[in-house]
Structure 1
Amino acid sequence: MEANRHLADALKEAGLTQNELAESVNDYLRSVGREGTVSDRTVRHWLTGKTRWPHPRQREAVEAVFGCTAGELGFTPPAGRPSPTRTEDPVHRRKFLTAAVVPLIAARPHAVGTTDVIRLRSGLDALTALDASRGGHEALERAALAGAAEALDLQKRAASQRIRQRLFSMAANYTASAAWSAVDARQSDRAQGHLNRALYLAGMGKDPVAELRVWNSHAMLAVHRGEFSQAVDAGQAAQATAVTRRDPLFASLAHARTAIGHSTVGDRQGALRSLGHAEDALAKASLEESRPSWVAFYGPAELLAITAIVRDDIGDSAGAEAASHRALAAIPQQYRRNRALATLQLALTQLHQRDVDQACATAEQVFALMTGNPLPGRMRSYLGDFYRDLTTLAPDSGTAREWEDRYRSEWSQAR
């Protein structure tokens, strides 16, 4: 008897337990007027290979949950029996599988279960991918708030207390996405309100990962507002969340965010100590472990980008430049906004070493990287920092004047 690795992989990717898959299958069966009798034992038989070809209605339901065929999930019919074609209503199945972003689809009338959570998670992943490419903007923020509203509406009809908590967690993460979009767009007041709401929802969902996500954004918002001691406090609050004791990657992110806070208040030793803790924790983390999509940006490349910021803040511009080059060599291409920000940080480190011509040439690359999309507010603000430093350090440089003309032109187009 051979274990069904395809189904096991699908379960892992969806973040489902055996019992949750059983609930999802039963939800689907009830939604089409059939009795839901699948148990966690049934799923165990599927996984171990004891049941190689489930009952037709069960196959239909499990295909709907995962959005692929029984064969793709590792199920095989008995020898000599051809795989039947699907008999379910294709219109119903499309509705069941749709993962909405904007507009979100109306909730189904049956009791809300795991499949609703999966659908909401898919929409959240789509928003995260959009942010990675384009950055924060109002349409993304509105979509995230709509997702949060749907999750909160669905929790009123949840099939169990555990499903209610998962939907509160979904609402927290959607709201945190809206908050992050506002942070990136430099809409500080809106971001603050969203973060406060997300923290409450994360508590309702008993979700320490969402709590860390909120404190991470709180720390970034505090830096943008010039509230540097609060950035340290938020980073330390992130360190105190339960997930940092279970997963060193999250611990590393919290320490890295605290390092930036220390560097902004001029605490050189505190900044370097926190960077060291971040590096040590990341060395212990498994980068292959399944985690929420929002944290996919963080790893060795992002830690190097943060290191560049910290070292530039504490006056080690040469060390910051080296870290920036290493970060840019490692940041994946799909993180276009992050690559543009790391490029701009490289330009700042070069400028702070008085290499004006090279700094201006590097800063020019930011506009090319973001071609086709408006510059997010946070990036425009950092470009403003570069412009101010440039006019202070090299007011009479011809290269500087040429860059200033380009900057003014791009700034007017970015509004």
Structure 2
Amino acid sequence: MAENQNQPLSAWMTDHQMSAAELADAVNAAVAQFTGRIGTTSERTVFRWLSGENQWPQERQRRALELVTNLTVEALGFRPRGKKGTTEPALSEDPDVRRRQLFGVAAGTAAAAIPLDQGRPSRVGTSDVIRLRDGVERLVALDAERGGNGLEQAALAGAAEALALQKQATTQRVRQRLFALASDFTATAAWSLIDAGRLDGAGRHLDRALTLAGLAQDSEMAMQTWNLRAMLARQRRDYAESVAASEAAQATAIARRSPLHTSLAHARTAVGLAHSGDARMALRWLGRAEDALAKADLTRPASTWISFYGPAELYSLTAIVQDVVGRPAEAEAASHRALAALPQSYRRNRAHTTARLALAQLHQNDVEQACATSGTVFVIMAGTPLPGRMRQLLGDFQRDLIARAPSARIAHEWTDRYRTEWSSS
């Protein structure tokens, strides 16, 4: 590996699964957007950028790189020769404008998260793949912040555009990537319904997502679909199907070669087995999930859909398994570890894990502490409607509270205090 290799650019290409030839095509298409003529960047040019041989591309190429990646050329590792720490004025738009484009949708409609093309392009290539992948990432950011409720239509619009564009794809590789994006968007639509507690339409979306993953020949998209199928089955209390779907996720090519994906599939299996009443096997699969995650390189870029998974999520799933199999003290400890490890941007996950913590405390008959903990769920999600899945979890809490409270008073106080926020969500 060359000493002066451009690591930021290399990392971006790895994260976006892009070859040197594909980046060259995307740069040339971007040049055409502001000059009217296709650029002349070659695969060899990209290799020179990566090796550090060319540390400052031509002006048109710099501008095109910023359009393609949505990053400044400096963030991509480029520097003018002989000028350490200084650069020419940036050619791209104000970074604040980019941030508003990325996150401004949170204050408006979810549909704005997908930057749909207004015209039908004559050439469909890598730049279109990147643009639509950015749309997936925006939906994932919204889901982490407020939950999946309300994202279904935006996700389906993204899927529809990806399917329309694949008909005009310049190469078979681009066509397959667009099928994969259509699968990703469709699975996101299914997740929106699952998180909202609207389960009827989710299965139909997942069937479609799995078909599209097959057309894309993309095992990762197939695994995402089986992972969501396991979650949907568990929500429906069909625990046998939940375990079967988790086993299908384990059988995908990506799960066989990636410890991160293996760990998630094992953890999902553990949850299904716990609900099925097989405590011994549930704990065994949980151990396998821990072992697999210990082998995963968490610094390596991962696909957007699985970005939620890591130590914090495994702790959260551990808390569910431990509580379901009758070990609430271990569940409480796992919930605390999850909350300590969760990124601040995962607001919905933090609220959900807090509700699980309250249940674990309640199952140890620590009623007052459980009531106090559950109340913080509303604080965490303040200003955002509670997703249906979270409301159902709080419903479980209320039922267990009524059953376990030493008197009806504390249960009535909890219900009276949070009825408005809970029901209005």
Indicate the larger mover: 145-154 or 328-337.
328-337
Distance 1:401 1:78 in 2: 71
1:355 counterpart = 2:366: yes
Matched, 1:43 2:46: yes
Structure 1 residues 331 and 40, CA gap change in structure 2 (3 angstroms): same
Q: Which residue of 2 aligns with 1:19?
A: 21
Q: Partner residue of 1:336?
A: 347
Amino acid at match of 2:355: L
Any conservation in 2 of the 1:183–1:221 contact (CA below 8 Å)?
Answer: yes
Paired residue secondary structure (1:110): coil
Matched, 1:385 2:408: no
1:320 paired residue number: 331
Mapped to 2, the partners of 1:381 and 1:249 lie a distance apart of 29
Secondary structure, in 3 states, of the residue corresponding to 1:297?
coil
* Alignment equivalent of 2:248, drawn from 222, 225, 237: 237
Matching of residues 74-89 of structure 1 within 5 Å: 74-77=77-80
Unaligned residue ranges in structure 2 (runs of 5+): 103-111
Is 1:67 matched with 2:83? no
The aligned residue for residue 37 of structure 2 is: 34
Corresponding residue for residue 224 of structure 1: 235
Match of 1:402 in 2: 413
What code does the residue aligned with 1:114 have? T
Query: Match of 1:359, as an amino acid?
Result: A
Given the alignment of the two structures, is residue 297 of structure 1 paired with residue 300 of structure 2, yes or no?
Answer: no
Query: What is the distance in 2 between the residues matched to 1:241 and 1:105?
Result: 33
1:188-199 matches, cutoff 5 A: 188-199=199-210
1 CA distance for matches of 2:66 and 2:139? Answer: 25
Q: Does 1:155 align with 2:166?
A: yes
| One-letter amino acid of the counterpart of residue 38, structure 1 | T
| Cα deviation code 1:128-172 (max 9, x no counterpart) | 01101101212x111111111111111111110000000011111
In 2, are the aligned partners of 1:107 and 1:154 still within 8 Å (CA)? no
Q: 1:16 is aligned with what amino acid?
A: M
| TM-score, normalised with respect to structure 1 | 0.91
Conserved in 2, the CA contact under 8 Å of 1:255 and 1:274? yes
Instruction: Please give the alpha-carbon distance, in whole angstroms, between the structure 2 residues aligned to 1:180 and 1:382.
Output: 17
Q: CA deviation at 1:190?
A: 1.3
Q: Which moved more, 1:5-14 or 1:308-317?
A: 5-14
**Rounded Cα–Cα distance in structure 1 between residues aligned with 2:72 and 2:414:** 56
Number of the residue aligned with 1:110: 122
- Partner letter of residue 145 of structure 2? S
Question: Does the Cα contact within 8 Å between 1:101 and 1:147 map onto a contact in 2?
Answer: no
- Residues of 2 paired with 1:396 and 1:11: CA distance? 60
Task: Give the corresponding residue for 1:262.
Answer: 273
Instruction: Give the Cα–Cα distance (whole angstroms) in 2 for the partners of residues 315 and 84 of structure 1.
Output: 63
Residues matched between the structures, number:
406
Q: What is the identity, as a one-letter code, of the residue corresponding to 1:124?
A: V
Separation of aligned partners in 1, 2:234 and 2:394: 16
User: What amino acid does structure 2 have at the position aligned with 1:118?
Assistant: I
Q: Is the 8 A contact 1:30 1:110 kept in 2?
A: no
| AA in 2 matched with 1:27 | A
- Alpha-carbon distance in 2 for matches of 1:274, 1:403: 36
Q: How far apart are 1:53 and its partner, in Å?
A: 4.1
Contact 1:356 1:400 (8 Å CA) reproduced: no
Shift of 1:87: 9.0
Equivalent of 2:376 in 365, 385, 395: 365
For the Cα contact (< 8 Å) 2:158–2:185, is it kept in 1?
A: yes
Letter in 2 for 1:136: G
More off after superposition, 374-383 vs 6-15: 6-15
Specify the alignment match of 1:132 in structure 2.
144
Q: Distance in 2 between matches of 1:13 and 1:359?
A: 41
User: In the alignment, which residue of structure 2 is the partner of 1:8?
Assistant: 10
- Greater alpha carbon shift after TM alignment, 104-113 vs 219-228: 104-113
The letter for the 2-side match of 1:388 is R
Structure 2 CA distance for partners of 1:328 and 1:66, relative to 1, 3 Å: closer
The answer for the alignment partner of 1:145 in structure 2 is 156
**Structure 1 SS opposite 2:227:** helix
Compare 226-235 and 385-394 and name the one that shifted more: 385-394
8 Å contact kept, 2:62–2:91 = no
Paired amino acid for 1:354: N
Distance 1:37 1:323, change over 3 A: same
The letter of the residue matching 1:131 is D
CA distance in structure 2 between the aligned counterparts of 1:311 and 1:85, rounded to whole angstroms: 56
Per mean C-alpha deviation after superposition, the further-off stretch among 249-258 and 389-398 is 389-398
Distance 1:74-1:307 versus aligned 2 partners, 3 A rule: closer
**Structure 1 residues 51 and 396: CA distance shift in structure 2, 3 A:** closer
Query: Identity, % of aligned pairs?
Result: 54
Equivalent AA in structure 1 for residue 36 of structure 2: G
Q: TM-score, normalised by structure 2?
A: 0.89
